[in-house]
Structure 1
Amino acid sequence: MARLYESRKRILVTGGAGFLGSHLIDRLIDQGHEVLCVDNLFTGTKRNIDHLHTHPRFEFMRHDVTFPLYVEVDEIYNLACPASPVHYQHDPVQTTKTSVLGAINMLGLAKRLKAKIMQASTSEVYGDPSIHPQAESYWGNVNPIGPRSCYDEGKRCAETLFFDYQRQHGVEIKVVRIFNTYGPRMHHADGRVVSNFIVQALKGEPITIYGDGRQTRSFCFVDDLIEGFLRLMETGPEVTGPVNIGNPNEFTIRDLAEQTLAKVGGSSALINEPLPKDDPKQRQPDITQAKAVLGWQPTVELSEGLDRTIGYFRDALPRLEG
């Protein structure tokens, strides 16, 4: 059941027409807040927010966060940035600018308004980790000049800016490190493993496994992730993060492919392709801090989450590809 607040807030969500942003906005609207959704629609889509078009407490603004934004709000969630390799490598310079200039512009706005601000960071700040699972104290193992660096280092720099704005200007910040997340409204062609496998299986195409499939990931359902966002934003100024939000249950990529194919049915073959450069061999969050500070842990098992995500794509795929 959604928690209702005594005082209505006006909340800015950048990247609000994206996968995570649109789910966050739904929760904020359910809580009684007003939401300003800002998105340049590079990877986001109005389809994700069409159901809110006539809602009296929802407003959409098409804007690129690499340019300053002058609005009046009480809180800011900064989610703007392409988050899949297919999209963030399409224009790597723009990806870095979105992370770095976007953080500067949103932090400047938060400073002026004295508003609380959350940065959607990523487990990619850990790179190809040399420790397992990854705790927030780990500084990472990141290639600063590789094809993924625009995203990895852009997000690392954004975290730096957030903590410098806190120390230098007293801005109240929250930093969340997001691990692999899936669910309805994922982009059908973003190259992420869950959407890839589901779409390929539904279309009867071969399911593409990069490498030998023994690399591991931990998959968090979107509803669980958004609950983590909200709990972190509710904390006082003494809690800044970074906080890992993700599901610590670890699966190999081949496990995921086989589960997906079993649920969808059909006769798609599993085929192997070369592993992309700098693709991490393992990724699993240590969520000790999230449990202790936020009282948060995921509740949706992979099997249930896959069922809900497959149901979404089964219904939406003809429209998405039309």
Structure 2
Amino acid sequence: MFDVPSDISARKLEGATVLVTGGGGLVGSRIVAQLSRAGAHPVVLDRFDAYPHPVRDRFEVDRHAAQVVLGDVRERATVEWLVSRADFVIHAAAYADVAACTRRPEIAFAANVHGTQSVLDAVAASAVRRLVFVSSASVYGDGASDTVPRFSEDQPLTPISVYANAKAWGEHQVRLMLARSGTEHTIVRYFSVYGEPQVPKPGSHSWMVPWMAMSAQAGQPLRLNGGGTQVRDMVHVDDIARATVLALVSDGAASRTINIGTGVPTSVREIGELITAHFPGARLVETPMPEGDPRGGCADTRRAADLLGWRPTIALPEGVDRYVAWLKATPDAVPDWFTASTTASAVLAA
């Protein structure tokens, strides 16, 4: 992990209370850890039900948070109480599964639209200094280029999934509501996040590094949806967390939207090949393209460098090496449902 620069932490975060909604997830827990090391008092609001298996201890949120509140961002009284005590807010809570949002758009609406509105209502009526809204590169859709798109923050948004559409709405609502309040805002668009101790969710086509690595370790083929031609900009969770904390306190980030990516396009097939190199005998298989899965692209990273002074520090080969090493050293991280599903697949294929 990487510490927030000392000049920023001393000036803005030392002793500050930072509410992190969704702070119990992979990214949120890493943000909480970095806030704690910067001298802040991170407060977590999370339902802890994003996975069908326990991850709270693995993500170590209780180790770094000053307070953990089990609750929902749609619970207005809880949100208002927590926001009233906060100096800053990072709104990372979301139903963050593209496939699940497509299957259950009503749940995506409840969490990603209703929940975001609840947070914005509380923040707009508070003395919070700045809100960082966590958005997604999925808002760009497929882009208009026949070559690999390089997405810039000012281009039109063309979301092609329920999840992306909810994130695009959230961005517009943040600008609309906070522009006339005393609270600053920054929007960060995450590209493809990965890194230990990430674990997959059943029925999802996201989180490809853990899906592929765990499949290879279980002796099952690695699925390449659509043949693996889609392009992703893979960003390690430690780099993502550091950029988010910088967005919270960097003066130039106020009222801006900022890509958080590496600027390096990598095909899904190339990611699979990086993983199979660690598992002799592992094989890749082509499977159909899921609904709402974008062809993808990479980030224009100039604004992150200019406004945050941020650049990624963990290249994808190193990040994959780290993930596989962690997985091999932590075999109990593989959830029971994953083991059961891969065993059933092996039986059917026999």
Q: Same fold (TM over 0.5)?
A: yes
The corresponding residue for 1:58 is 66
Number of residue-to-residue matches in the alignment: 314
2:140 to 100, 110, 126: 126
Query: Residue 232 of structure 2 aligns to a residue in which SS?
Result: strand
Q: Which amino acid aligns with 1:178?
A: Y
For residue 106 of structure 1, what is the amino acid of its counterpart?
V
Partners of 2:242 and 2:120 lie apart in 1 by 23
RMSD of equivalent CA atoms: 2.0
One-letter code aligned to 2:133: Q
Alignment of 1:23-42 (within 5 A): 23-42=30-49
What are the within-5 Å matches in structure 2 for residues 180-219 of structure 1?
Answer: 180-189=192-201, 190-192=204-206, 193-219=208-234
Is the Cα–Cα contact under 8 Å of residues 48 and 185 in structure 1 kept in the other structure?
A: yes
Aligned runs of 1:222-261 on 2, under 5 Å? 222-236=237-251, 239-261=254-276
What is the SS of the residue equivalent to 2:256?
A: coil
Report the Cα offset of residue 216 of structure 1.
1.1
Structure 1 residues 237 and 301: CA distance shift in structure 2, 3 A: closer
- TM-score normalised over the length of structure 1: 0.91
Report whether the alignment pairs 1:297 with 2:303: no
Instruction: Confirm or deny: 8 A CA contact 2:276 2:283 kept in the other structure.
Output: no
User: What is aligned with 2:172?
Assistant: 160
Q: Which residue of the other structure, out of 282, 290, 295, is the alignment partner of 2:296?
A: 282
SS in 2 for 1:114: coil
Deviation at 1:235, TM superposition (A): 1.9
Task: After TM superposition, give the deviation of residue 294 of structure 1 in Å.
Answer: 1.4
Q: What residue is the counterpart of 1:82 in the other structure?
A: 95
Higher helix share: 2
Percent pairwise identity? 23
Q: Give the direction of change, closer, same or farther, for the CA distance of 1:49–1:254 in structure 2 (3 Å limit).
A: closer
CA-to-aligned-CA distance 1:133-189 (integer Å, 9 cap, x gap): 01011112224xxxx31x111111111111011223242111000100100121233
Paired residue for 1:111, among 124, 127, 133? 124
More moved, 165-174 vs 298-307: 165-174
Judge conservation of contact 1:128–1:279 (CA < 8 Å) in 2: no
Could you say which residue in structure 1 is the equivalent of 2:56? 46
Matches of 1:40 and 1:91, distance apart in 2: 18
Distance in 2 between residues matched to 1:80 and 1:314, nearest whole Å? 30
Unmatched 5+ stretches in structure 2: 337-350
The CA deviation at 1:103 is 1.7
Is the 8 Å Cα contact of residues 199 and 333 (structure 2) preserved in structure 1? Answer: no
| Separation of aligned partners in 2, 1:315 and 1:139 | 44
Q: Which moved more, 1:187-196 or 1:63-72?
A: 187-196
- Aligned mates of 1:101, 1:316 — CA distance in 2: 37
Q: Deviations over 1:271-299 (max 9, x none)?
A: 11111123211321111111111121212
Change (3 A) 1:58 1:87: farther
1:2-24 residue CA offsets vs partner (Å, 9 max, x unmatched): 34434311111111110100111
Alpha-carbon displacement from aligned partner over 1:28-57 (angstroms, at most 9, x marks no partner): 11112111111111216312444634x6x6
Q: Tell me if the contact between 1:128 and 1:278 (Cα under 8 Å) persists in the aligned partners.
A: no
Per-residue displacement from partner, 1:113-134 (whole Å, max 9, x unpaired)?
2211110000011112214201
Q: Distance in 1 between the 2:295 and 2:103 partners? A: 23
- Report if aligned partners of 1:188, 1:317 keep a CA contact under 8 Å in 2: no
Which amino acid is the alignment partner of residue 295 of structure 1?
G
Pick from 20, 28, 33: which aligns with 1:21?
28
SS at match of 2:197: coil
Structure 1 stretch 128-137 or stretch 309-318: which is displaced more? 309-318
Query: Any idea what SS the aligned residue of 1:277 has?
Result: coil
